[in-house]
Chain A
Amino acid sequence: MAEIEVKDLCKEFTTYVRGHGLAGSVGSLLSRNRTVRKAVNHVGFIVEKGEMVGYVGPNGAGKSTTIKMLTGILYPTSGTVRVCGLCPSKDRKHNLMHIGTVFGQRTQLWWDLPLIESLELLRYIYKVSTKSYKENIERFCDILDIDEFMQTPVRQLSLGQRMRGDLAAALLHDPDILYLDEPTIGLDVVAKERIRLFIAELNRERKTTVVLTTHDLTDIGTLCRRIIIIDTGRIIYDGPVEEIRKRFGSESSLLVVFKEEPRGLSLQDAEEIVVDGLQARIRFDRRRIAASDLIGALLKEYPVSDLTIEDTSLERIIREIYLEGKLDAGLS
């Protein structure tokens, strides 16, 4: 049995549009304009035990809404969610005992108390045995270094520290599934890396299933083999990260520094050449020409002092997918 099974999931939100200005406000007291927004639109996927899935999409795509339905705190408008065979919104408590959730924008920690107090409380809420409580705290101290600020009131923690605290809080009861909604939001490079390492290890050692939403595609690149891309409530891609790179990342750039200005620089198989003084950026498609051939051709005609090949980053690919709906043409 798959750990998470989502079938034909839809969520509609009804909002009431208020008029502008005073007249509009008064008017909206009398009659309100109802609009229905489809936040999640016929979404379906299956996640197996131990998988790490990246769930990405532009702002407002429906990521958080999906996560909330998976955790059981939001009813679907239609469709089904099964987590370990149970319906999370009906078997609420049971489901919550087996999952851990971090919403990067919020915290479950007690604001005015030292971090350790929140963790201690969770130990009783989730009925964690003394033994595994001790082991887990030790583990979190080791990898997340939370011992540095264990005794500090949460409101005094930096964002990165707080996020580590929240991760520890979500994992204290050794959940089978971890939902992470933007766990690296607002963090610096080092803090992000630390959190990624921790999640990777968690998945490797404990086989914890991870569903991760993020706007930082480095998170996905380093953690997930599989990516689900959602846009305006619909899934537009679900498959290996590698596949996306292969399909859309065949474009690379060659950065060249010449010894003297390359007058009238042209190469047959290049897609685009931008010259700037002694430097040039040459875009090419690996499917049309191998990098070695292109470099060979270049070296034959021009005096080159330095060369670098730049692969299209996952970030750029995704950006293009968001912007151009590239997948519509590419996949379906």
Chain B
Amino acid sequence: MRAYLEIAKKSFQEMLSSRGEALIRLLAMLLSLYLLRSFWKGLYAGSDEVQGMKFTSMLTYATLSVITGGILNIFGLLQVYIAYWMARKMRSGEIVMDLLKPTDFELYLFSHSTGRLAFNLMFSVPVAILAFIVFRLEPPPGPAAAFLFMGSLAIGYLLVFLIDFLVSLIAFWTTQTRGVGGFTRLIIALLSGSFIPLWFFPAWARDALSWLPFSSIYHAPLSIFIGKLKGAEAMKTIAVQVAWALVLFALSRVLWSRARRHLMIHAG
């Protein structure tokens, strides 16, 4: 187990060594915050409430969405992160070096990913605090909501990892993930509520989307934070998240062992 902790540490250090990239992402984050605020301000056009949604709640949601994006960092330039990385390794043959390690590959990747997460947290949290002060946003309605928010966000992270990992396995057959990676990125952006909260969707779509894993990534934790999702409904959402995490995890084990088998037969 210690080994996996160390992998996360090294991955964190690796991020530290690319401070230039971090700075660019920080600036991009600040810029998105500013733009999103202008966008929603324009849309609300001075009114306090639209479709039962208070302006401050909406702004809190949008801000948190940018921050969450910064923390999860699933968006590489054109595709999801692990998928991009795996396709590169498959094409260069570098994947051989990973197979030579007496570790569990999925857990290895998860640790690596978590090291990045820790780094992202380190610079996203201050931005969040700053944004809350400057935009005068609302804190969660109570300690229970804050706690649920963090739990829900953590499961959201697991789901992002699993989806990304599953997509990356396609590279074992195609050595390319550009198409499918870009598609995943788009799907997550649209259906997760990252940009437009799901309650602005028609009721049937909202209902359908709440059963998909994508809404677990942004919509679930963010709605809990602003108090839109609470009580039994919040618990139900978290149950759905957990269920998806279990399903995707099981699927990832099956597909990973197939992908490895494929590689061990076809790649020299």
Contacts and interface: CB of A to CB of B under 8 A. Distances in A.
Interface string A44-86: 0000000000000000000011001001011100000000000
Contacts of A89: 264
Interface stretch (A27-35, A96-104, A251-259): A96-104
Nearest to A94: B102
A93 interface: yes
B106 interface: no
Nearest to B264: A75
B14 A108 contact: no
A113 B115 CA distance: 14
Contacts of B14: 110, 112-113
B235 interface: no
Contact of A68 (B2, B5, B94, B96): B96
Contact of A120 (B6, B261, B264, B265): B6
A59 to B, nearest CB: 13
B141 interface: no
Interface string A266-283: 000000000000000000
Contacts of B267: 74
B38 interface: no
Contacts of B101: 96, 108, 125
Given A89-B264, A113-B10, A96 B102 contact: yes
Nearest to B98: A108
Given A106-B94, A110-B14, A124-B2, A73 B99 contact: yes
Contacts of A64: 268
A65 B268 CA distance: 6
Contacts of A121: 3, 6-7, 10
A96 B96 CA distance: 13
B268 A113 contact: no
B13 A73 contact: no
B97 interface: yes
Interface in A96-137: 96-97, 101, 103, 106-108, 110, 112-113, 117-118, 120-121, 124-127
B111 to A, nearest CB: 10
A120 B268 CA distance: 29
Nearest to B100: A101
A153 interface: yes
Contact of A125 (B17, B97, B99, B102): B102
Contact of A73 (B3, B6, B264): B264
B100 A126 contact: no
Contacts of B103: 125
Nearest to A14: B266
A167 to B, nearest CB: 14
Contact of B97 (A14, A94, A103): A103
A207 B170 CA distance: 43
B96 A153 contact: no
A13 interface: yes
Contacts of A68: 96, 268
Contacts of B265: 74-75
Interface residues of A, number: 34
B137 to A, nearest CB: 36
**Residue picked from B14, B264, B268, most chain A C-beta under 10 Å:** B268
B33 to A, nearest CB: 29
A171 interface: no
A13 B94 contact: no
A97 B103 CA distance: 10
A39 interface: yes
Interface string B104-124: 000000000000000000000
Contacts of A75: 261, 264-265
B174 interface: no
B266 A73 contact: no
A110 B14 CA distance: 8
A215 B2 CA distance: 40
A268 to B, nearest CB: 53
A125 B108 CA distance: 10
Contacts of A107: 97
Interface string B134-157: 000000000000000000000000
**Residue picked from A14, A124, A153, most chain B C-beta under 10 Å:** A124
Nearest to A98: B102
A113 B102 contact: no
B126 interface: no
B13 A117 contact: yes
B262 to A, nearest CB: 10
A272 B261 CA distance: 57
Given A73-B100, A106-B93, A112-B17, 5 more contacts: A65-B268, A107-B97, A110-B14, A112-B14, A125-B3
Interface of A: 11, 13-14, 39, 64-65, 68, 71, 73-75, 89, 92-94, 96-97, 101, 103, 106-108, 110, 112-113, 117-118, 120-121, 124-127, 153
23 contacts: A11-B268, A13-B266, A74-B264, A74-B268, A75-B264, A75-B265, A89-B264, A96-B101, A106-B93, A106-B94, A107-B97, A112-B18, A113-B13, A113-B14, A113-B17, A117-B13, A118-B10, A120-B6, A121-B7, A125-B101, A125-B103, A126-B102, A127-B3
Closest 7 CB pairs of A and B: A96-B102, A124-B3, A124-B6, A73-B99, A93-B102, A108-B97, A125-B3
